[in-house]
Amino acid sequence: MKKLQSMDQFEKLKKEERVVFMFSANWCPDCRLIEPILPDIEANYPEYKFIYVDRDDFIDLCIELDVFGIPSFIACHKGEEAGRFVSKVRKTQEEIETFLNSLSA
């Protein structure tokens, strides 16, 4: 998963088709728990571009997007938010895939 490097990059990426931003942090135990399943999720959903957003590096963006819990996911499509799975609750692969499946509906 590519890591977000700048706000300019975020602004460009969110205008693309089917981008999913995963908000996370190195110190987050629930984020570390889902790390092993992320490659499978990316492989199962090749139509999406997945971008890792370090919450600590982009705290202002998190505040702007109301991302107060991690891990969280926000999907964008051509500049518009297509869906969000944002909470401080631990997430399973099934829950993440259910979220992704809801985006194409």
Could you count the other beta carbons within 10 Å of the beta carbon of residue 25? 17
Helix (H, G, I), strand (E, B) or coil at 96: helix
Question: Where do the H-state alpha helices sit in 1-105?
Answer: 7-13, 29-34, 38-44, 59-64, 93-103
Q: What is the pTM of this model?
A: 0.93
Distances (CA, A) of 76 to 1, 10, 40, 66, 84: 16, 11, 21, 15, 9
pLDDT digit string, tens, across residues 20-61: 999 999 999 999 999 999 999 999 999 999 999 999 999 999
Per the CATH hierarchy, to which homologous superfamily does domain 14-100 belong? Glutaredoxin (3.40.30.10)
Closest C-alpha among 42, 32, 25, 48 to residue 90: 32
Domain limits, the chain: 14-100
